[in-house]
């Protein structure tokens, strides 16, 4: 990963599928003078993603591609990334698995946020699984993407306590708050090497 030296901000794309609360927090972070990124492009596989309204509100270009034909969708996305000179890709609630070929083309430059303390609970329903297993803590992880789902090198993690009366919804909300704090920190770590 190239280092941010405080001159030109690193052109970044955020991939979403749903609400986009992480997108919103990343946009706010990107507006800070000390932030190393500029969000240039939002990509979604879902035309109904609420997060698309956030990109519109902040006047960030967005593109939507159905993944029914994954190969062609990914080809178009790679074109968009190249045209927009994107250097960093942040997955934020993006619910599609990118192909090995795509990951290879952007090797070491795609990061993701996942709502568990990886390597525990890869995949879906992380909160429910943590509660059902009687775990005392859960949390969130920002990690690099490699060819195996939720298995790339960990950049940062934040622990969140699970309390007795937690439902997965309540825990999800508490963890999401920490995600909004963790993702910007992880980006700084990767680009500035804090
Ligand atoms: C977050 O919990 C993220 O960790 C997971 O999907 C959720 C997306 O939330 N991958 P939002 O769309 O950023 O609000």
Residue 126 covered by a domain: no
- Regarding the beta carbon of 74 and ligand 1, being less than 6 Å apart is answered no
pLDDT at 194: 62
Residue 170: exposed, middle, or buried by beta-carbon count in 10 A (0-12, 13-18, 19+)? Answer: middle
* Residue pLDDT, tens place only, 32-62: 999 999 999 999 999 999 999 999 999 999 9
Task: Check whether 27 has a pLDDT greater than 70.
Answer: yes
SS3 content of the chain, % helix, strand, coil (to 5): 35, 25, 40
Give me the catalytic one of 31, 114, 127, 143.
114
Distances (CA, A) of 172 to 13, 111, 175: 25, 20, 5
Residue 20 covered by a domain: yes
Residue 132 covered by a domain: no
Q: Give me the number of domains the chain comprises.
A: 1
Q: Is residue 114 among the annotated active site residues? A: yes
In sequence order, which residues have a C-beta less than 8 Å from that of residue 184 and are 6 or more positions away?
25, 26, 29, 35
Helix (H/G/I), strand (E/B), else coil: 84: coil
Residue 172 covered by a domain: no
CATH number at residue 33: 3.40.50.170
Residue 176 covered by a domain: no
Tell me the best of 17, 26, 93 to mutate to test the pocket of ligand 1, counting ligand atoms within 8 Å of each CB and taking the most. 93
**pTM exceeding the 0.85 threshold for the entire prediction:** yes
pLDDT at 2: 67
Tell me the best of 14, 21, 22 to mutate to test the pocket of ligand 1, counting ligand atoms within 8 Å of each CB and taking the most. 22
Domain that holds residue 112: 2-117+140-158+182-192
Task: Check whether 5 has a pLDDT greater than 80.
Answer: no
Residue 188 covered by a domain: yes
* Residue pLDDT, tens place only, 147-187: 899 999 999 999 999 999 999 999 999 999 999 999 999 99
* Residue pLDDT, tens place only, 140-149: 999 999 989 9
Residue 41 covered by a domain: yes
Residue 173 covered by a domain: no
**Beta strand pairing call for 88-91 and 10-16:** parallel
């Amino acid at each position: 990963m190239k280092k941010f030296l405080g001159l030109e901000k690193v052109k970044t794309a955020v991939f979403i599928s749903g609400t986009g609360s992480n997108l919103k927090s990343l946009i706010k972070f990107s507006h800070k003078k000390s932030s190393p990124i500029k969000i240039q492009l939002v990509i979604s596989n879902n035309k109904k993603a609420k997060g698309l309204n956030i990109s519109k509100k902040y006047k960030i270009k967005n593109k939507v591609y159905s993944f029914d034909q994954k190969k062609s969708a990914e080809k178009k996305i790679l074109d968009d990334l190249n045209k927009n000179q994107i250097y960093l890709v942040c997955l934020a609630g993006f619910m599609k698995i990118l192909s090995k070929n795509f990951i290879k083309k952007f090797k070491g430059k795609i990061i993701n946020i996942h709502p568990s303390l990886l390597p525990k609970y890869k995949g879906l329903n992380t909160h429910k699984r943590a509660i059902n297993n009687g775990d005392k803590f859960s949390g969130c992880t920002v990690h690099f993407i490699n060819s195996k789902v939720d298995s790339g090198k960990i950049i940062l993690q934040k622990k969140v306590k699970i309390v007795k009366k937690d439902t997965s919804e309540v825990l999800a909300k508490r963890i999401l708050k920490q995600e909004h704090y963790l993702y910007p920190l992880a980006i700084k770590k990767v680009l500035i090497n804090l």
